Structure 1
Amino acid sequence: MQSWQLPEHVADVLPTTARQLESARERLLALFRVHGYELVQPPLMEYSNSLLTHIDAGLSLKTIRVVDQLSGQQLGIRADITPQVARIDAHLLSANNGINRLCYAGSVLHARPEGFLNTREPLQAGAELYGFADIAADIELIDLMLKSVNIADFGEVLLSLGHIGVFRALADAAGLSAEQSAQLLALMQDKDAEAVKNCVESWCLDGMWVKAFALLPALYGGREVLQEARAKLPDLSAVGRALDELEAVCAAFPAQNVHIDLSELRVDNYHTGLLYAAYGSDSHDAVARGGRYDGLGAYFGRSRPATGFSFDLRSFIGRLPEIGRQSVVMVAREDAEAAKDAVAVLREQGQCVVVDYGIGHNGSDNISGHLKKIDGVWQVAEV
């Protein structure tokens, strides 16, 4: 193996793409800021238990672990920033019992890529709202998610909605164990109604629950799915509340292309309610995902309602607007010392100035002028 080779699913970001990513990151943070979301920057690594690796099997598999040479305890390199932000809300910002709006944009590391084409070093950006349980908070975050996705060219964006509360209400009413719920959730992902039916029948459940679980994989489509769900699912108050929330979101985005799927339950274990995602017109996977995760802060000592979304900004590569290299003003090597004050003024004004050593450089094709002393004054002479 060559010493310069990188691990699989890890890559350098070169100047042209780096400019695009940094520009997009700046636009995102500006967007979050004008919506009231304050930037936080959690550390890249923490004690692994703080990263929720002990309660979320999927997150645990993603997390790279090392032994801390100072304490001897196990450290984890973050694979998801959301638990860290929940910790910040629960501890460092605990003086505020009202709403905390927080945002972030930083790298995470995955032990394995989530897909064949995915990187192991996503640039995760997102926003979270703590302290308000009403559906209005979810609508606010969905609106912000859709605005965030619009910084790139994904064509017509599809808003996908689900609600894990429907499944959990049925599971609780049917008396399923945690192990049975997990098994059934896995089957739901394949949308195989027959496999789901055979599974619940093997548990000798009442026919009403067998029918309800077998129906879930078929409850997907447009807004009309909600009326079908009300007509065919058991009349449980928790199911009704979940469907009410989905209807409220649909009403808040009347012009948005919406897809509803009551068996789309591919979530981290900490999600508790409404689920939302954005898909591009030619995207094989979600561009951004989010949902409600009430009570996550309880693991850090303060249980709070919470909702938020995140995405990998690197997945926007190839869809971001071109960001040209800044024009360059050259100053000859022999003039650099004498012209240093003039160079400093230009740089303070935002102009890129580089010393010309006479051997070319990686901005040679974008030179706009040369700094020269003309009539006793340092001036930029256009090329």
Structure 2
Amino acid sequence: MKGHWLLPESLADVLPAEARRIEELRRALLDLFRTYGFEMVAPPLVEYIDSLLSGSDSDLNLRTSKLVDQLSGRTLGVRADMTPQVSRIDAHLLNRDGVTRLCYCGPVLHAKPAGLLASRELLQIGAEIFGYAGLEADVEIVRLALESIRLAGIHNLRLDLCHAGLVRALIETDANALRRADEISTLLKDKDLPGIRALSKGIEAVALSTVQALEQLPLLYGGIDQIARARHVLPVLSGVTDALDTLESLLLQLNDPSVGLDLSDVGAYGYHSGVIFSAYAPGWHDALARGGRYDGVSLAFGRSRPATGFSLDLRKLAGGLAPARATNAIRAPAGSDLSLVQAMQDLRKSGEIVVQVFADELADHDEFVFDRELLNRNGQWAVEKV
């Protein structure tokens, strides 16, 4: 018989030191977002499935766990991504005319893990800008994503830019390529050059000229010099030119050596509408943060709004950092003497951690190191080093 303490596959408890670090990161990031003018919202964990998946990509449907609402009989979904919910809040509940900056943080559940090492439960935190189609919004979101990761102490990161318009422009002139858009997106993300070349074969063969253009995208990786190379090797299409112009302007405005290009790092086809980005760092097997522009997704909620944003998983971010250090604390003796209680309260109000050890207690803490002790000296309580 299996133990009652076993958890479902790809789910895990978070123990004290790690939980503290995750919470500290959450507070620090939300405070950072507020300095940029982002307002926090908190959508529900569960929604009707038709609302939860409105305007989202098909992959989100596969990642969403479903259940039946015992009150209405309708199908509910446990959110697998908070972005559509925040888009609904902007379009339907707030219904503002101008620019709206919203941030959020909460748990999400995936029906299946995204990869071999991935968890099914994430603590998603993110920021979104609604109501502004200009490049300035993309610049702000990329800068905020970079600052968020650096706030966690990660400085050797790389953020790769791509543009949804590139792939769209290349395949929408080819009926067979358009029918195989999801397959092409997967091949590009995996940088599967043999798979891309094989698109020109079979019943629904993609035109050779389209395949040759798609083959170039995984090779266009690096700095701003790749823009000129892309203009040379990719077809002269208005969508391609516009996308490259946008990426070049974004790189020049950011002027950050950590930011480069990866023109095959595409998202789900049809979801993003402009700039896409992913942030990577040594020690993490997958992207730390992802984001981009998704104009028009909120049309499903009755109001189309330009939108751009990013999100990351706090549990994954914390999991790749060095082990959390124990915190210095003050050990206080057992007892209910009023002067002792007052002394402990005063110390706690000043921000100190004071742990009162009970009578005959064997203090066993992973979180705290007792470097000081509260002692009674001649009727006065005083803190002394251990």
Same fold (TM over 0.5): yes
Which piece of structure 1 moves more, 295-304 or 266-275? 266-275
Change (3 A) 1:340 1:194: closer
Is the CA contact (8 Å cut-off) linking 1:154 and 1:281 kept in structure 2? Answer: no
Query: Does structure 1 conserve the Cα–Cα contact (< 8 Å) formed by 2:176 and 2:205?
Result: no
Identify unmatched segments of 5+ residues in structure 1.
Answer: none
Q: Distance in 2 between matches of 1:192 and 1:145?
A: 28
Distance (Å, rounded) in 1 between the aligned partners of 2:290 and 2:85: 17
**1:262-281 correspondence to structure 2 within 5 Å:** 262-267=263-268, 269-281=270-282
Q: Deviations over 1:133-164 (max 9, x none)?
A: 11111111101101111123445211211111
Matched, 1:70 2:71: yes
2:370 to 347, 366, 370: 366
CA pair 365-143 structure 1, distance change in 2 beyond 3 A? closer
Q: Deviations over 1:267-295 (max 9, x none)?
A: 47522211111111344321111111001
How has the CA–CA distance of structure 1 residues 334 and 206 changed in structure 2, closer, same or farther, with 3 Å as cutoff? closer
Secondary structure in 1 matching 2:139: helix
State the distance in 2 between where 1:313 and 1:23 align: 10
| Aligned-partner residue type, residue 332 of structure 1 | A
SS in 2 for 1:272: coil
What CA distance in whole angstroms lies between the structure 2 residues aligned with 1:268 and 1:20? 36
In structure 2, the residue corresponding to 1:91 is in which secondary structure?
Answer: helix
Cα distance in structure 2, aligned partners of 1:176 and 1:132: 34
1:154–1:351 distance in 2 versus 1, CA, 3 Å: closer
Which stretch shifts more, 17-26 or 153-162? Answer: 153-162
> CA deviation digits over 1:102-121, x for unaligned, max 9?
11122111111111111111
Decide whether the 8 Å contact of 1:58 with 1:268 is kept in 2: no
SS in 2 for 1:97: coil
**Structure 2 residue identity aligned to 1:226:** I
Distance 1:275 1:329, change over 3 A: same
Deviation at 1:373, TM superposition (A): 8.4
Match of 2:52 in 1: 51
**TM-score (normalizing by structure 1):** 0.89
Q: Does 1:100 align with 2:100?
A: yes
Show the counterpart of 1:324.
326
Asked whether the 8 Å contact 1:194–1:214 carries over to 2, the reply is no
* Matched ranges for 1:154-193 at <5 A: 154-176=154-176, 178-193=178-193
Q: CA–CA distance in 2 between the matches of 1:367 and 1:207?
A: 71
- Tell me which amino acid in the other structure corresponds to 1:40: V
Aligned residue identity for 1:191: K
Distance 1:225 1:73 in 2: 50
Distance (Å, rounded) in 1 between the aligned partners of 2:283 and 2:38: 30
Measure, in 2, the Cα distance between the counterparts of 1:155 and 1:339. Answer: 45
The question of whether the paired residues in 1 share the 8 Å contact of 2:63 and 2:80 is answered with yes
Distance 1:381 1:218, change over 3 A: closer
Residues in 2 aligned to 1:7 and 1:257: alpha-carbon distance in whole angstroms: 38
Alpha-carbon contact 2:272-2:295 (below 8 Å) kept: yes
Provide the residue aligned with 2:226 in structure 1.
225
Aligned counterpart, 1:309: 310
* 1:246 maps to amino acid: L
Q: Aligned equivalents of 1:186 and 1:281: distance in 2? A: 23
When structure 1 is superposed on structure 2, of 48-57 and 66-75 the one drifting more is 48-57
Is the counterpart of residue 380 in structure 1 residue 382 in structure 2? Answer: yes
**Structure 2 contact 54–84 (Cα < 8 Å) conserved:** no
Query: What CA deviation, in whole Å up to 9, does each residue of 1:207-252 have, x standing for no partner?
Result: 5434323433333333222112212322222211110111012112
SS of 2:276's equivalent? strand
Identity %: 42
Deviation per CA, 1:62-81: give whole Å up to 9, x if none. 11111111111111111111
* Alignment check: 8 A CA contact 2:169 2:237 kept: yes
Alignment of 1:120-269 (within 5 A): 120-176=120-176, 178-200=178-200, 203=204, 208-267=209-268, 269=270
Distance 1:268 1:331 in 2: 63
- Relative to 1, partners in 2 of residues 1:217 and 1:344: Cα closer, same or farther, differing over 3 Å? closer
**Conservation of the 8 A alpha-carbon contact between 1:46 and 1:77:** yes
SS in 2 for 1:108: strand
Mark the runs of 5 or more structure 2 residues left unpaired by the alignment.
none
Greater mean alpha carbon deviation, residues 7-16 or residues 174-183: 174-183
Give the count of matched residue pairs. Answer: 379
Does the CA contact (< 8 Å) of 1:89 and 1:100 recur in 2? yes
Residues of 2 paired with 1:46 and 1:332: CA distance?
49
C-alpha RMSD of the superposition: 2.6
Residues 333 and 356 in structure 1, CA contact (< 8 A), matched pair in contact too: no
Q: Distance in 1 between matches of 2:46 and 2:191?
A: 37
Structure 2: distance between partners of 1:268 and 1:45: 26
* Alignment check: 8 A CA contact 2:328 2:371 kept: no
